[in-house]
Amino acid sequence: MAEQRYGRYYAQELMIDPDANIREQIQDALDAAERQEWHLLGVSDVLPERGVILFWDTAAPSFARRGR
């Protein structure tokens, strides 16, 4: 997982190795983001180079709660 982040939202380019298990590669990226408490916002269509872009929210969710 790349360490470079820009603000709250982060676009991660995930290049898929066609010779490895695709589902495991995606799950590894999801697990790495979960350890950082990131939240998946969306996924791009497959890029021509067999990759996707995962869009993350790197802030903890507020669930519409506000401090008093």
- 3 inside domain: no
Q: Among the residues of 1-68, which ranges form H helices?
A: 22-35
pTM greater than the 0.85 cutoff: no
- 17 inside domain: yes
- 1 inside domain: no
Which comes out higher in pLDDT, residue 61 or 33? 33
Distances (CA, A) of 65 to 56, 58, 61, 62, 68: 21, 18, 9, 6, 9
**Torsion angle, alpha carbons of 12, 13, 17, 23, to 10:** 40
> In which domain, by residue range, is 37 found?
9-57
Using one digit for the tens of pLDDT, what is the confidence trace for 18-53?
899 989 999 999 999 999 999 999 999 877 778 899
